[in-house]
Amino acid sequence: MEGTVTAEDDPAAERGPAAESATAARGDAQRGGAPAAVAAEAPAVIKSPGCGGTESGTLFDVDVPVRLPSALSPSRAGDFMQCPLLYRLRVVDKSPEPPNAAAARGTLVHAVLDRLFDLPAGGRTPDEAAALLQPEWDRLLVKDPRLGQLFGAPEDLADWLATAKSLLGRYFTLEDPNRLEPARREWFVRAVVGEGDERFVLHGVVDRLDVAPNGLLRVVDYKTGKAPSAAYEAKNLFQMKFYALVLWKLRDVVPKRLQLIFLGSGDVLTYDPDEQDLRGMEQKITAVWAAIRAAAQRREWPASPSRLCDWCSFKAGCPAHGGQVPPAPVVEFTPAS
């Protein structure tokens, strides 16, 4: 699929000075003014906009380095462990994904639970939480107007908001927010691990941090889905141990408790980590980061088919399911600081 390359839809436009030069050279080639050596280089063709490259399906040069920070979040670490190709499409190619009603509901419920604690103790009620739904939804639409495309009719939106209201109602059966005063909410955390050139950043957003009068820490995460089976429980604990490791690095204190609140099923999962847990977690994350760097160096990001493919927005273009992705670009990781 051919198209005009612009600074807006060409990934190379965000890859630094070298990429800008390459973009300009390709523009000259399209106008017939480029040197023969440059014009002879055929950039990769994005045949499936949903699987690599740009949303408009334009051309880009896979030999122009993609510069990425040496950083890892629990979500992206989970992507790589689940499927290296999924990590590549989200992080390296930055392939667009369509909005998802379930994910949007999760974002909305998280926003309401955050705003709920702006109210004074005694005023944090189910009715007040429900009243926050519409204004928070309006804020989300401003940030991402595509979310409005999820609902074909007003009644569809009303039904969807009703499911979010139900999840909020269940929250009040699991804990009383009037008895809590979180120390942090929607808290961006960041810590550097590793040595020398192997240093990289761990980062993420903690839904809620509670601090007891004696200084003990509790890390709380809200999930709008149901509690997982034993086979998938480790995935959720991985995220929480990740946050616990970052907090340990930041405060030199091991959180006393990690708590997952599953609003979809009304379950609460808790885990009390210790230093040995977190040292093991650091080793595991370091190994994941090393594997990511190795995959980038080889330019090999294999698909890893599983039952989770049915929920992947890239399934139609995945080689494991008969699709095709463009060649992987060169990746350069910037040093962590």
pLDDT for the residue numbered 95: 93
- The SS3 call for residue 262 is strand
- The SS3 call for residue 169 is helix
Are 257 and 268 contacting, i.e. CB atoms less than 8 angstroms apart?
A: no
Neighbouring-strand partners of residue 260: 221, 269
Residue 39 has pLDDT above 80, yes or no: no
Residue 186 has pLDDT above 60, yes or no: yes
Residue 112 CA to residue 131 CA, distance in Å, equals 9
Residue 24 has pLDDT above 70, yes or no: no
Percent of the chain with pLDDT over 70: 82
The pLDDT tens digits of the residues spanning 202-232 come to 999 999 999 999 999 999 999 999 998 877 7
Per the prediction, the chain carries an average pLDDT of 84
CA separation, residue 86 to residues 92, 193, 246 (Å): 10, 24, 24
Gyration radius (Cα) of the chain, Å: 23
According to the per-residue pLDDT averaged within each range, which of 5-9, 42-46, 297-301 is highest? 297-301
The DSSP result for 177-196, as a single string, is GGG---SEEEEEEEEEESSG
pLDDT for the residue numbered 60: 54
- The SS3 call for residue 302 is coil
pLDDT for the residue numbered 118: 98
Token pair in block for residue 279 = 């040292």
Percent of the chain with pLDDT over 90: 76
Residue 210 CA to residue 54 CA, distance in Å, equals 41
> What pTM was computed for the model?
0.81
Residue 10 CA to residue 94 CA, distance in Å, equals 11
Are 260 and 269 contacting, i.e. CB atoms less than 8 angstroms apart?
A: yes
Domain boundaries, the chain: 1-64, 101-170
Residue 38 has pLDDT above 80, yes or no: no
> pLDDT grade, residue 6 (50/70/90)?
very low
Q: Which residues contact 306 (CB under 8 A, 6 or more apart)?
A: 82, 83
pLDDT for the residue numbered 50: 38
The pLDDT tens digits of the residues spanning 299-329 come to 999 999 999 999 999 999 999 999 999 899 9
Query: Which amino acid is it at 2?
Result: E
More confident of the two residues 201 and 22:
201
> pLDDT grade, residue 61 (50/70/90)?
low
Residue bearing tokens 């960041």:
190
More confident of the two residues 132 and 197:
132
Token pair in block for residue 119 = 């109210």
The pLDDT tens digits of the residues spanning 75-114 come to 999 999 999 999 999 999 999 999 999 999 999 999 999 9
pLDDT for the residue numbered 231: 73
Residue 130 has pLDDT above 70, yes or no: yes
Residue 30 has pLDDT above 70, yes or no: no
Residue 245 has pLDDT above 80, yes or no: yes
